[in-house]
Amino acid sequence: MKAAIVVLSDPKPGTEEALGRLFNALASAYDFKHNGNEVTVLFQGTGSSWIGELTKADHPAHKLFEAVKDTVAGVSCGCADVFGAHEAVVASGFDLITDNQVPGTTGLPSFQKLTQEGYTVLTF
């Protein structure tokens, strides 16, 4: 079994719903990882802004993020550009993903590529 977990929720509103979606995405990655399944996590859309938050030691999801950060494939480059997260992603050392060369962007992850490789795509 292979799962691609895509985080789309926006950290900026600071709502419990957004944090809940992030937490469940990371908990799902943890579940797949610790049960021996292949899992990859992607941050896309407004979710590209989470990287800057999750690297802070006092963030409520920091410890869970640390437990699964080796499964993070990266962050959508085009989305990081649009939502102002580019600098934080570069500083974090995570990859900016550009597989899907959408016109007018610097590129996004390719869901087509992921499904072709046998991943089930889960969005949060």
Whole-number Å distance between alpha carbons of 8 and 11: 9
Instruction: List, for residues 75-117, the tens digit of each pLDDT value.
Output: 999 999 999 999 999 999 999 999 999 999 999 999 999 999 9
Burial (CB count within 10 angstroms: exposed 0-12, middle 13-18, buried 19+), residue 122: middle
Whole-number Å distance between alpha carbons of 72 and 3: 12
Domains present along the chain, CATH in parentheses? 2-123 (3.40.1260.10)
pTM for this model (two decimals): 0.93
